[in-house]
Structure 1
Amino acid sequence: MRLKWQVAVASAALTVVSGCTVAVGGTASPVPGQGPVVTAIDACTLLDESQLDALGYEANGRSVKENKDRLQTPMCLWNTKDDVEPRALLNVGYTTDLDFNEYIAGAVPKSEPQQIAGFSWTQYPSILSDDCVFYAILGDKSFAYVSVSEPPLATSCELAKKVIPQVAAHLPGGQDAPPITPAGPAKAEPGGPLLSVDPCTMLKPDQVAQLKNISPTGKKDTSSTVENASYCLWDDTDGDDGQKAFEVWLGPSTPVGQWPGAKGVTPTETVDVGGKKWGLFPNMGGLRVTCGATLAVTDTSSVQVVSGFIGDDAKTCDLVKQGLPLVTANLPG
C-alpha cells in the first residue's frame, strides 16, 4: 500500500504547527498559447476560525502544498488547543487534479461508505496505527479526506466524524455545516463533599496494610495538570518492576469523564462497590502498565484511583480492583 501522504503527516506531527498561507483573491488567467491556469489549493481554508475553535483546535494550521511526484495532496494540519483533551492532530486534504485510484494504490476500505453532509465518506487504512482517515470522491480527479491521529483509533474516528460535516460545507456541493457542540466542558467551580477532604484519608493504615508491596505512608500533593485536584501517593516497595504506586485523586471540580486518560474513552468494565459504579480503564492514557478507575461523586466532582503492574499484563488492574472497596468506604457522604 502506497499512501504516501501519511509519511508526510508523520513528519509534520513532529513539528510545531505554524500559520496557514493566505489565499490570493481574483481569477487566474491563462497565458496565450498555454493551457488553463490551475489555481493552487490551500487546504487550510476548508475550516474557518470559528469552526476550529468550536472543534477544539488551534486557529492556525500548517499548510502543505501539493506534490504530485510523491502523490501528496494539498493538506493542512492543526493541533488541539492546550486545554482540550484528548490531544489530537487533525489533517484535512483536498485535490482537484489527482487520480484517487492511483493515490490509494489498491488499499482496501475499512468501512462501508457513509453519507455525511452530502458526500459518501469511506474509511481507509493508514500506516499510522492511531490514525483514522475518511475519503470522499468528488469527481474524476477530485477527492477530499479528513484524518485524526494520536488518540486511540476508536476515539480518532469519533473526532474525524465530527470534523467531516464542517469540512464538507467548504467543498463544492457540500451541505451547510451543522452547529458544533464546543469541545471540552465549561469549567466547574470547586465544591461539594470533596472540597475540603485530604486524599490521604482515603485509605486508613490498616487498609494500606492489605495492599501488597505498598508503602504504609502516603504523600499528598496537588495536581499540575488537573485544576483544583489533589492526590495521595502510596509508593511501591518492590523495586522498578512489578507493582506500581497506588494513587487516589480527588477532583472537586472535575466531572468524572474529564480525567486525563479517560477523556473520550469508554470504560472497559464497571465495578459495582455497594451501589457505587466505578468505571475501569486498563491501559489508561495508552500506557499498557497503568490502570485507572473513576467514580462520579456529583455532576461536577469525582474520584480517581490509579495503579498498575510492570512485567505481567494480567495483573495491571489487580491492585486497583482490590483498593476500590477500601477507598469507597472512606468517601464523604
Structure 2
Amino acid sequence: MRIKWQAVAALAAVTVVTGCTATVGGSASPVPGQGPVVTAVDACTLLDEAQVDALGYRSPGRSVPENKERLQPPMCLWNSKDDVEPSAILNVGVASDLDFNEYISGALKKSQPQQLGGLSWTQYASILPDDCVFYTLLGTKSFAYVSVSGGKLDRSCELAKTAIPQVAAHLPGGQDAPPLTPSTSAKPEPGGPLLSVDPCTMLKPDQVAQLKNISPNGEKDTSSTVPNASFCLWDDTDGDGGQKAFEVWLGPSTPVGEWPGAKSVTPAETVDVGGRKWGLFPNMGGLRVTCGATLAITDTSSVQVVSGFIGDDTKTCDVVKQGLPLVTANLPG
C-alpha cells in the first residue's frame, strides 16, 4: 500500500527542537539612520510568545548558537503549528560582531530596500528555492534577518513580510509592532449528517469495480492531522507506478476550505454532480501526482476525495472525476 499523501506531507515537515539559550555578544558602531547597535540579544526573544502564536508558529523556538568559524550568527527557528497550511519554518537571526558583506558572500539583491517596522529591509537570494530572506543593517558589524521557507517563494515572502514588523519591534530603532489577528480560533464541534457515517460506505462494491486499478476492499482509518476526520482507502492494484489509491475523507468538523492542501487555494475547476458542486484541486498540496476534490455538506462539515496518477500528468484527476458521481450518490441527504 502506498503511503497516504497526508503522511508524505507530514514527513516533509522539519521538526524544531525546543529551547532558547543563545546570547549574542560583541559590539559594533551604529550606522547613521539605522539606530543603535544590537548587543547581548537572545535571538529567541525577538518574538514573544503571543506574536509567535498569532503568526501561526509553535513556541518555544529552537535556538541555534553563534558559530563564527562558519559565519553563522545566533538564530532562532520556529515551525508552523499543525493546523496551519502550508507548513513553514520561520528563522530569525541577529549578529553583533559579524561583517555583513563577508557573511552575505556575494549573494544578489532581489529587491530594493523596503521600510518595514521602522527599519530598512532588503531581500537577498538564498540557496534554498523556497526561502525568502530579508536583512536589515544595524551597525558596521551588526545586522538582523528574517527568513521563511514556506513551500513556494511568493508564499514565503508573504509570510516573511508579515513577521518582519513583529521582529523589528524588538530591535533598536524599530517601531511598535502592529496588532495581529491570532491564528488560533475555536474549532467547530463535530456534528451534522457526517458524524455517524462510515467512510467505507461511500463506495459500494459494484461502484468500486467501475474504477480502474482500484482494490475492491476499503480500509478505514482516522486522521492524525485533521481533527475528528475519518477516511477509507481503497488501494491501487497496478504496482508502484500508474494509478494511486482512492481515498474518501469525511470531516464532521472540517469546513470545506480547511482541508490540508486546499486551504487558501482556489479550486482549478468546479465539478457539478446533480447540483452538488465539488471543487477540484490538481497538484493538491503541491504534489504533482495528487488530485483532490472537496464538497461542503454544511458550513462546518465537508467531504474530500483524493487520488492521483504517477507517470502521466494528464491522468492525475481522471479517477477522482470518475469517482465523484459514485461518492455523491452515497452521501447522507
- Indicate the SS of the match to 1:107: coil
Report if aligned partners of 1:152, 1:286 keep a CA contact under 8 Å in 2: no
- Indicate the SS of the match to 1:218: strand
Report if aligned partners of 1:231, 1:247 keep a CA contact under 8 Å in 2: yes
Give the unaligned 5+ runs of structure 1.
1-12, 29-36
Alignment of 1:97-136 (within 5 A): 97-136=97-136
Report if aligned partners of 1:295, 1:302 keep a CA contact under 8 Å in 2: yes
For 2:164, the equivalent position in structure 1 comes to: 164
Q: 1:278 to 1:146 in 2, by over 3 A?
A: farther
Give the aligned residue type for 1:147. S
Q: 1:98 to 1:277 in 2, by over 3 A?
A: farther
Give the aligned residue type for 1:118. G
Is 1:223 the equivalent of 2:223?
yes
Number of aligned residues:
309
Residues of 2 paired with 1:143 and 1:39: CA distance?
11
1:101 to partner: Cα distance? 3.2
Give the aligned residue type for 1:115. Q
- Indicate the SS of the match to 1:215: strand
Residues of 1 paired with 2:297 and 2:184: CA distance?
20
Report if aligned partners of 1:191, 1:252 keep a CA contact under 8 Å in 2: yes
After TM superposition, the score normalised by the length of structure 1 is 0.80
For 2:18, the equivalent position in structure 1 comes to: 18
Report if aligned partners of 2:218, 2:233 keep a CA contact under 8 Å in 1: yes
1:38 to partner: Cα distance? 8.7
Percent pairwise identity: 79
RMSD: 3.0
Is 1:270 the equivalent of 2:284?
no
Is 1:255 the equivalent of 2:246?
no
Report if aligned partners of 1:281, 1:293 keep a CA contact under 8 Å in 2: yes
For 2:155, the equivalent position in structure 1 comes to: 155
Residues of 1 paired with 2:39 and 2:173: CA distance?
19
Report if aligned partners of 2:54, 2:184 keep a CA contact under 8 Å in 1: no
For 1:239, the equivalent position in structure 2 comes to: 239
1:70-116 Cα distance to aligned partner (Å, 9 max, x none): 33222112233455444332210122443433322332233444432
- Indicate the SS of the match to 1:57: coil
Residues of 1 paired with 2:182 and 2:247: CA distance?
31
Give the aligned residue type for 2:50. S
Report if aligned partners of 1:168, 1:175 keep a CA contact under 8 Å in 2: yes
Alignment of 1:47-86 (within 5 A): 47-82=47-82, 84-86=84-86
1:278-318 Cα distance to aligned partner (Å, 9 max, x none): 33333333433222222222222111111111222332222
Residues of 2 paired with 1:81 and 1:256: CA distance?
20
- Indicate the SS of the match to 1:285: helix
Give the unaligned 5+ runs of structure 2.
1-12, 28-36
For 2:319, the equivalent position in structure 1 comes to: 319
1:271 to partner: Cα distance? 2.1
Residues of 2 paired with 1:322 and 1:164: CA distance?
46
Residues of 2 paired with 1:157 and 1:325: CA distance?
40
After TM superposition, the score normalised by the length of structure 2 is 0.80
For 1:34, the equivalent position in structure 2 comes to: none
- Indicate the SS of the match to 1:302: strand
Give the aligned residue type for 1:136. T
1:176-233 Cα distance to aligned partner (Å, 9 max, x none): 1122222244221011222233323333444333321122343333323322212122
For 2:191, the equivalent position in structure 1 comes to: 191
Q: 1:228 to 1:59 in 2, by over 3 A?
A: closer
- Indicate the SS of the match to 2:215: coil
Residues of 2 paired with 1:225 and 1:294: CA distance?
17
Residues of 2 paired with 1:282 and 1:207: CA distance?
23
For 2:143, the equivalent position in structure 1 comes to: 143
Give the aligned residue type for 2:17. V
Report if aligned partners of 1:273, 1:328 keep a CA contact under 8 Å in 2: no
Give the aligned residue type for 2:199. P
